[in-house]
Amino acid sequence: MSLGYAEKLSFIEDVGQVGMTEHFDSSNILQEKIERLATLIRKSKHLVVFTGAGISTSCGIPDFRGPKGIWTLQREGKALPEASLPFHRAMPSLTHMALVELERAGILKFVISQNVDGLHLRSGIPREKLAELHGNSFMETCPSCGAEYLRDFEVETIGLKETSRRCAVKQCGAKLKDTVLDWEDALPTKEMNLSEKHCRMADVVLCLGTSLQITPACNLPLKSLRGGGKIVIVNLQKTPKDKKASLVIHGLVDKVVSGAMISLNRQIPPFVRVDLFQTIITQALSLDKKYVNWTLRVSSVHGHKAPLPFVKSVEVSFLDREDYKGAILEKEPFQLKRRTVSTKSFEVVLKLNFSEGCGCPYIEMNIPIDFTVPIDCFNLDKDAIFEELKETAIQESCCGQNAVIVRREILTPQSEETVYAVVTNIVRHNKTAKVSELGDSLSNGGNVKRRLENGCTGTLKKKRSKNRHKKKPTTTTTSSLST
């Protein structure tokens, strides 16, 4: 979990049993249990997965109650663990992506998560097939119209408090709230109702990486028993629900899931992250109309005051114009102000240096600027562009691919906003021949043959008047702006 999230929680004396002994099934027993699990999944008609912090430890996110968990170390008076990556750059694990494959295959019907890391949504699990019982650190919601906004930065509050942003839905504009519960907050009714419904329908509820201690969430899997369903628990520590389970597996979640996917002959898809940012060029003629005073800003698509966490700095230069002074922008807002002759066109070169956790160090963009040419406005199919970028990134085994998806004109003040999509990470989870060969390659800090592709950078040349994409009408969306 996010250490920031843990620090924001209200103090509570009893956080449940912590620091429990970890148990590991022997290799032979583990192999036999994994085969049984695969058989249950193969025969399942309504598989529901219930997840806890244990599926995210291999993403570099500490858990709470393990031997090195946050609550355990706090109780022992020890320093808290440090996350290996910034929370906003954590990427889905092998287990997250295996669940995506099972959902796409029509096997997995619903996911119930107690995690607030947002990795299920980011991995590709559809929102309508996911209940996030304790909220999402990257999600804001509108209490008035119900619109949801998935951010690329951690929302600053928890406890269902108002944030600094407003709903973008027309005719609404209400203040948004965070979605992460504090100790005293009740579980969201909608999420609980869906979870209960699917658990009652389930013939298998697979519990992954959860101690099953927090009520009422921990009792949800039991609702499958009335209809003859079975519970499977995969966890290193014993849980209060073990006696109710048809199968208990003591093993690392990634190792167990990887083995089950091999038995099912299912390939675990790579994870490709696509992020969004925008450039805003604002212009105004001088009084004598000989010059243009203009400002170039690189910013978040989530609002002018929202952070842009994956960009560390922006280098600005001018192609073939040595008389125009460039700049290195190292702090947000990334903004450059210049004055140029109104009748002259030129080309701006932007180098976006990415922050820690991104799969490539930077991308470069060439932006032709000619204030005498009308702006070519359009709004393209974001999802289609995302898929095309992902396919290209997988084929080329590197990051940095990028594309323009929106360009719009604003009359007051006169400006042009352009939204870009860029591939910032690709992770492959290689299939292993035998589960027994996984051995100790898995730990709470590492994945099975998890490989980050990097070393590539992308370039993008922006043209004003020769865009070949078909124009589409502007639509209002409340879904995620990065994936």
**Hey, how many other C-beta atoms are within 10 angstroms of the C-beta on 440?**
8
* Distance of alpha carbon 79 from alpha carbon 3, whole angstroms: 12
Which residues participate in the annotated binding site for Zn(2+)?
142, 145, 167, 172
Three-state secondary structure of 1-48 = CCHHHHHHCCCCCCCCCCCCCCCCCCHHHHHHHHHHHHHHHHHCCCEE
Rounded Cα–Cα distance for residues 8 and 158 (Å): 7
Q: How far is CA 411 from CA 284, 329, 341, 368, in A?
A: 11, 27, 21, 20
Residues 6+ apart with CB under 8 A from 429: 94, 97, 98, 258, 268, 270, 271, 447, 448, 449, 450, 451
Residue ranges of the annotated binding site are 142, 145, 167, 172
149 φ, ψ to 5°? Answer: -130, 115
Active-site residue 429, yes or no? Answer: no
Catalytic residue among 46, 88, 120, 134: 134
Round to whole Å and give the CA distance between 266 and 413: 54
Token pair for residue 332? Answer: 């947000």
For residue 343, what are the CA distances in angstroms to 3, 161, 320?
Answer: 53, 50, 17
**Catalytic residue ranges:** 134
